[in-house]
Amino acid sequence: MSRRLVQLLLASSLVLLAVATWQKEALPPKQVLSEDLLNEPEQVQVKQAAFDTTVNGVTYTIQPLYTYDIRGLVVSMYDSKTWWDYVHREWNDHINVMDLCVVWGNNLRSDNYKDIDYSSGQWICYYQPKSLEAAQTFDQAALSNNHLLTDKPEIARAIRKARIGDQVRFRGYLAEYSHNPDGQPFKRGTSIVRTDTGNGACETIFIEDFEILKAGGGPWRKLVWVAAFMLVAGVIAWFRLPIDSGIRTALDPEKFKKRK
């Protein structure tokens, strides 16, 4: 392989990697969204006794309040296992595996949801409209930041497969949870309506079932890996190229002596 061809491979792989990384979490257009995402979450009050479950050696008490079933588009997310998250570690909160910020209903009746910047912190989902039309049509009651709880490793794995741009459905219980290790009590509640905060409701949900209805990202998620493979192949090819004659002459000690 010629030096020029290797340079072209390296340059194209870097460009493709940059574009694919940027596009793989782009929100899908309205026409590919499921009609089910236009429905409101289903919520029914229950009278159910609290129960205990243990995760990572910590025993939690779960108090179900309502059954809950929601379908939505993931617009932002937060993994509680990220290296800079200190609060969940300090609170021994190992059961809250992921926060998913989703939109549904009125927010998906036009393409204006794509004209909004979304981001997630340790507790809150933030949104910032980029146009006046998006600001005027955005429905704060059709966005929620969902704190997902589970004691089942298989459900935790399913949740962590979700990405921005995915259409998802999850079911379980709006619930309070608490624990008291080493005499340090901890308790966390939940939103029970979608209109109780300025940055969307914050539901705490003990998950019974989690499903990705349709993955987002189009071909870009696979192209990230294609670009990474091309980049690695290009780097290997570069180091296997024969040394340029000019460089070889400069490094030849005999040539150097004659020049002196």
- Spatial CB neighbours of 19, under 8 Å, sequence gap ≥ 6: 220
Judgement on whether residues 83 and 201 belong to the same structural domain of the protein: yes
Query: What's the pLDDT score for residue 246?
Result: 46
User: Domain check: are 140 and 176 in the same one?
Assistant: yes
pLDDT greater at residue 222 or residue 46? 46
Q: pLDDT at residue 217 above 80?
A: no
* Cα dist from 157 to 99, 153, 237, whole Å: 14, 6, 37
User: Average pLDDT, stretch 193-212?
Assistant: 81
Give the chain's mean pLDDT. Answer: 85
Beta-bridge partner residues of 79: 98
Which has the closest alpha carbon to 21: 232, 214, 213, 163?
163
In this structure, of 23-27, 137-141, 162-166, the range with the lowest mean pLDDT score is: 23-27
How many CA atoms lie within 13 Å of 52's alpha carbon, on the beta-carbon side?
Answer: 6
Look at residue 209 and give its three-state secondary structure. Answer: strand
Q: What region, left, alpha or beta, does residue 9 occupy, with left being phi > 0 and alpha being psi -120 to 50 degrees? A: alpha
pLDDT in tens, 113-141: 999 999 998 888 999 999 999 999 999 99
Q: Are 127 and 135 in contact (CB under 8 A)?
A: no
Residue 250 has pLDDT above 50, yes or no: no
Answer yes or no: is pLDDT of 145 > 50: yes
**Residue 134 shares a structural domain with residue 251:** no
31 and 15 co-located in one domain: no
The pLDDT, as a whole number, for residue 49 is 96
pLDDT of residue 220: 62
| CA-wise closest residue to 143 among 134, 151, 153 | 134
Alpha-carbon gap, residue 250 to 193, rounded angstroms: 74
> Is the pLDDT score of 177 beyond 90?
yes
Rounded mean pLDDT of 193-220? 81
Q: Do residue 165 and residue 58 come from a single domain? A: yes
243 or 9, which is more confident: 9
Cα(253)–Cα(118) distance, integer angstroms? 60
Q: Are 118 and 231 members of one domain? A: no
Q: Are residues 195 and 84 in the same domain?
A: yes
Q: Which of 1-10, 174-183, 221-230 has the highest mean pLDDT?
A: 174-183
The residue among 79 and 207 whose pLDDT is bigger is 207
For residues 206 and 79, membership in a common domain is answered with yes
Same structural domain, 174 and 88: yes
Cα–Cα distance between 208 and 117 in angstroms, integer? 30
Query: Which pairs count as long-range contacts for 114-122, CB under 8 Å and 24+ apart, including other chains?
Result: 114/27, 114/29, 116/75, 118/75, 118/76, 119/76, 120/76, 120/77, 120/78, 120/145, 121/78, 122/78, 122/80, 122/85, 122/87, 122/88
Are residue 113 and residue 235 in the same domain, yes or no?
no
Where do runs of H (alpha helix) occur along 24-124?
87-90
Look up the domain containing 80 and give its range: 27-214
pTM, rounded to two decimals: 0.80
Indicate the length of the chain as a whole number: 260
Whole-number Å distance between alpha carbons of 210 and 150: 10
Higher-confidence residue of 220 and 169: namely: 169
What is the per-residue pLDDT for 184? 75
On whether both 67 and 151 belong to a single domain, the answer is yes
- Looking at the fold, whether 229 and 147 belong to one and the same domain comes out as no
Q: Considering its fold, how many domains does the chain have in total?
A: 2
Helix (H, G, I), strand (E, B) or coil at 153: helix
Number of neighbouring beta carbons within 10 Å of residue 184: 10
The proportion of the chain whose per-residue pLDDT surpasses 70, expressed as a percent, equals 87
What tens digit of pLDDT does each residue of 44-93 get? 999 999 999 999 989 999 999 999 999 999 999 998 777 667 777 777 88
